[in-house]
Structure 1
Amino acid sequence: MEADSGGTLVLSGSKLRVERKIVIPMDEESITDSPSNMRQMQGSQSTETDSQRRNMEVSDRPNTEQLNKQPEVAKAHNSFSQTGYYSRVHAPYKLRIIVLNTIFFLESHIASQQLDPGDQWTWLEYQLINARKQDQKVYLVMSTPPGVFENAYRVPGVHWFHPRHNRVYINMVRKYKDVIRGQFGGHHHSDAFRIFFSKHERPVSWLFLAPSVGPRNTELAPDVTTYNNPAMRLYMYDRDTLEVLDYVQFYLNLTSANIRQNAEWKNAYTFTTFYNVPNISLYSFTLLMSRLNDNEQLFARYYEANSMYVHKEKECDHLCARYHACALQNMDYSSFFECISAKHVTSSSYKWRGTPLKSSAASLHLEL
């Protein structure tokens, strides 16, 4: 995966033994042909000349002879090169991994003005319908995620998705909550997560946001209130089911590395032990949110890990804490603003307290 997506690697089994770096292949049945209007749009925006393309280094080109021997791979490669999204079905495990091109949904991208840019929404629903019919579980993988950025509270509501596409994404997750096992994203450069709720405010899905290998330059993003130390995340999964079980987070202290002129990567934490949850599941995320509401020390651990230990919890005031709390559990823009503008309901000195919480330890009702 790209560094912008969190530099994510995968480990196999519970013994933290590196099996191999996962490169997700693509199969014929899970790819649809790209619409001609997207090809035309890309052609009109390209500044590369025919001669430049002809002079491209041979090493940069796909091996056409090999691709032709695998027609399903050739078709997938062609579609991916035009749309940037694809899926892979692991039939023996009843698992479908869907890789999205969320660039099309960004408010800053011209394609986001279309109702269905690149036919990606149609394609995604087709994938989810087929997964449901075949009794498969789905992992969604993306770079830029939906929702609000938790570290830009100087300008409340900083987000990436066009509002229309943000709503479509939320509704898609709600509609296919029975097949979507989990979601993985990045782009924020911060270590965080999100919980999706139904219209009845019951948790239906979770999203991991992995920190980045590259630190954010705050001079280039003045609205952002933090930068991050470089980080690398390794997921563990069950080799029999491919279900993600846990992850280990590593980071590099840039200040120390520059002083010592030596890059020493350190083990930051393991998810289940760091947050004292049984596994990676919707139940664990809901339990975690409940504990964050009651445990100031736990919030301090979350906040310092959020920047990979660049900033300390004492630097996060009441506004900062509420912004994080609201961003973690309000994917819809309007509900996020309702959350940060709600009046405090307690006089507690704990900064997180008073934030409207959608789930509690006393009532963990999951919509499954």
Structure 2
Amino acid sequence: MAQEWALWLPEQALKTLRYGGFYTVEIQPGLRVVSLNMNFCARENFWLMVNSTDPANQLQWLVHVLQASEDRGEKVHIIGHIPPGLCLGSWSWNYYHIINRYESTVTGQFFGHTHLDEFQMFYDEETRTRPLGVAFIAPSVTTYVNLNPGYRIYYVDGNYKNSTRLVLDHETYILNLTEANHNLESPGNPEQNPKWSLLYRATEAYGLSSLFPSDYDKLLGIFISDDRTFQKFWYLRHKGHVSESCREACKTTMLCFLRSGCSDELDLCDHLNGFAGNLARAARKTLC
């Protein structure tokens, strides 16, 4: 892999890539990307029984990178495959601590893995009420399972002095397989180049001015009080392909997932306004 990526990555990045599959690169003056190897937190990785806290010292390395970026006044975007909220508990909690410590440095977190269009929130560890980070979970081009292919474009605060480098907006595009397959079956009108189309733009879909952590925290409150908006999210989460609405225990489980950027954080469900105790317990039973 290091050989294949040598055209794009500097030698220092290739060194840590060879060692543990993680690296960091300065993208622009003032903006650094950190790519994490999320195999080191995967619940399915039985080798982590040997060391589930910080395999290959990746999180320790991340702290050093973030501290150096803080000293230089850089902003950092973290990319990875598995969202931290779906990782092993010990790794997930340590990552959460790091995001709390470097909340002014880490201004973007981008993950995938679920194949769905989702996000997970990070809050301050003292009160669990002040939003300080969002892990964006982008939809997949793959159709697994019963999904349209999709991809995401992020709009980020630009390259200027003192830029926040925060995500301002994003757009999701899909390939409607139902339409594409229908055109393929139409006599004399084969669809050689299926059309990708804009499914939604986040600020427009949810009536937000930006996509800062505080905006997503408010959106969670809207999901609780306005079921119509939540059902729109549920439809967009599945890239425009969903047959059943999500209500009661399903909705509570989903809201717990969105709020919990850390593994095993389901006690927060009890503190969400509008959650009945029975529903919170149902969600906890479902997810644990």
Shorter-chain TM-score range = 0.7 to 0.9
Q: Find the aligned partners of 2:94 and 2:60 in 1 and give their Cα distance.
A: 11
**2:147 counterpart residue number:** 228
**2:200 counterpart residue number:** 269
Q: Which SS does the other structure have where 1:334 is aligned? A: coil
Q: Which SS does the other structure have where 1:315 is aligned? A: coil
**2:96–2:122 contact (8 Å) kept in structure 1:** yes
**1:216 counterpart residue number:** 144
> Aligned AA for 1:286?
D
**2:20 counterpart residue number:** 83
Deviation at 1:283, TM superposition (A): 2.1
1:59-78 → structure 2 map (5 Å cutoff):
62=4, 73-78=10-15
Deviations 1:293-318 (A, max 9, x none): 22111111100000111114x53231
2:105 corresponds to which of 148, 173, 179: 179
Q: Find the aligned partners of 1:327 and 1:90 in 2 and give their Cα distance.
A: 31
Q: Which SS does the other structure have where 1:76 is aligned? A: helix
Q: Find the aligned partners of 2:147 and 2:72 in 1 and give their Cα distance.
A: 41
Deviation at 1:343, TM superposition (A): 11
1:38-77 → structure 2 map (5 Å cutoff):
62=4, 73-77=10-14
1:137 corresponds to which of 45, 55, 75: 75
> Aligned AA for 1:211?
P
Deviation at 1:207, TM superposition (A): 1.0
**1:120 counterpart residue number:** 58
> Aligned AA for 2:148?
N
Larger Rg computed on CA atoms:
1
Q: Which SS does the other structure have where 2:84 is aligned? A: coil
TM-score by structure 2 length? 0.81
Q: Which SS does the other structure have where 2:151 is aligned? A: strand
**1:95–1:138 contact (8 Å) kept in structure 2:** yes
**1:193–1:207 contact (8 Å) kept in structure 2:** yes
Indicate how the Cα distance of structure 1 residues 326 and 142 shifts in structure 2: closer, same or farther if over 3 A, else same: same
Q: Find the aligned partners of 1:142 and 1:176 in 2 and give their Cα distance.
A: 18
Q: Are residues 1:303 and 2:234 paired?
A: yes
Deviation at 1:198, TM superposition (A): 1.8
**1:111–1:117 contact (8 Å) kept in structure 2:** no
Deviation at 1:143, TM superposition (A): 0.8
Indicate how the Cα distance of structure 1 residues 233 and 196 shifts in structure 2: closer, same or farther if over 3 A, else same: same
Please provide the CA RMSD for this pair: 3.1
Q: Are residues 1:323 and 2:253 paired?
A: yes
**1:323–1:340 contact (8 Å) kept in structure 2:** no
Deviations 1:342-365 (A, max 9, x none): 99756xxxx99xx9xxxxxxxxxx
TM-score by structure 1 length? 0.64
Deviation at 1:334, TM superposition (A): 3.3
Which protein, 1 or 2, shows the higher relative CO under an 8 Å CA cutoff with sep ≥ 6? 1
Q: Find the aligned partners of 2:4 and 2:179 in 1 and give their Cα distance.
A: 41
Q: Which SS does the other structure have where 1:323 is aligned? A: helix
Deviations 1:119-173 (A, max 9, x none): 10110000111111112221111111122xxxxxxxxxxx4x1211111111111
**1:212–1:230 contact (8 Å) kept in structure 2:** yes
Deviations 1:166-199 (A, max 9, x none): 1111111112112111211000000011111122
Q: Which SS does the other structure have where 2:25 is aligned? A: strand
Could you tell me which runs of 5 or more consecutive residues in structure 1 were left unpaired when the two chains were aligned: 1-59, 148-158, 218-226, 356-368
**1:193–1:206 contact (8 Å) kept in structure 2:** yes
